[in-house]
A and B are shown apart, each in its own frame.
Chain A
Amino acid sequence: MTQTEFLNIVMPFKDKVYRLAKRLLVSTEEAEDATQEVLLKLWNNKSKIHEYKNVEAFSMTMTKNFCYDKLKSKQAQNLKIVHSNYEEKNTPLQKQVELNDSVSWVGKIIEELPEQQRMIIQLRDIEAYDYDEIAKMLNMNNTAVRVTLSRARKTIREKLIKTHNYGFR
């Protein structure tokens, strides 16, 4: 398989991998590293890539596992992830989005959710995956995904109402 063929396969979902990694690891740098790592792993196993039924789902699962490992090793070292995204190389659009204070609040609220809920919110509400796909990626069953998602959405809504009221009253 040549590089261009590989890139054609990977290109459509590399951003999704990155966003999922960022959702879990929070730090931009770490998410970039994780994405690179995952894609390089795919590249190194490129001979097997045709055996995978769904490369995208497979990569998402890989990303999830990779990030979990990262988080676990961080906890084992008793280090807190300090996400100091010093360098601001954000796209203008993101800046524009972050200028909006209440929108950035949503990001903070999601950050406070448990990892699994965060992932499912990411996969469903941002990447708009099918329930079945999510279930496959996360190795869960369909209803468990729905229950977790509903729980996450309710938490976000409650917290939003709180901050909303706080802001306006």
Chain B
Amino acid sequence: MVLDNIEKLLEKYENGETTLKEEAQLKNYFSQKIVAPHLEMYKPMFQYFLGNQQEQFTKDLPLKPKKRFNYKWLSVAAVAVLMIGFYFTTSIIDNNCNDLGTYCEPEEALEEVSKQLAMISNHFNKGAQAVGYLNEVDKGTATLGYLNEIENTTKIIFKK
């Protein structure tokens, strides 16, 4: 009776008409130790199906929250790099101001400027002294002016 039923189920099974319940019945039947000899060849098949159900995925899953690259941070980084760049270049100029021929200390600069100005005025005064002789020349020309007077009078004399 049972065997008859199993044979029918097998036929249905091969035609793909069995329900899951009926298939479970078949699997059940073929997991027994003793099976009807003419159905022996089905045994490994159902055993294989049952055995394969047990296989498990054992590998770990590296589930890290995937970090997506945020482009906002790129701009922040760029600004930071620029700031650092500016800071260092300005400090480099500060440190090397002697190389550029200028003075770092304002007092030092003032001293030097006043020194230079004093020197200039010194020389300027010398020049101005030399120019002073021109006044004498003026005097000379002024006396020469009297000659004109003499000429005027002589002209008058000769006209008459």
Interface residues of A (CB under 8 A from B): 3, 6-7, 14-15, 17-19, 22, 32, 35-36, 39-40, 43-44, 89, 91, 93-94, 97, 100, 102-107, 110, 124-128, 130, 145-147, 149-150, 153-154, 156-157, 160-161, 164
Contact = CB atoms under 8 A, between A and B. Distances in A.
Contact of A94 (B17, B40, B44, B51): B51
Nearest to B21: A128
Contacts of A145: 16
Contacts of B56: 15, 18, 91
A15 B23 contact: no
Contact of B51 (A36, A93, A154): A93
B38 to A, nearest CB: 11
A149 B23 CA distance: 13
Contact of A157 (B14, B17, B63): B14
B10 to A, nearest CB: 9
A22 B54 CA distance: 13
A161 B14 CA distance: 14
Contacts of B61: 7, 36, 39-40, 43
B14 A150 contact: yes
Interface of B: 13-17, 20, 23-24, 40-45, 47-49, 51-59, 61-63, 66
B102 to A, nearest CB: 61
Contacts of B55: 15, 18-19, 22, 91, 94
30 contacts: A15-B55, A15-B57, A19-B55, A32-B57, A40-B62, A40-B63, A43-B61, A43-B63, A43-B66, A89-B58, A94-B54, A100-B44, A102-B43, A102-B44, A103-B44, A106-B44, A106-B48, A110-B48, A124-B23, A125-B49, A126-B49, A130-B20, A150-B14, A150-B15, A153-B14, A156-B45, A157-B42, A160-B42, A160-B44, A161-B41
A93 B45 CA distance: 16
A37 B106 CA distance: 70
A166 B44 CA distance: 15
Contacts of B14: 150, 153-154, 157
A145 to B, nearest CB: 8
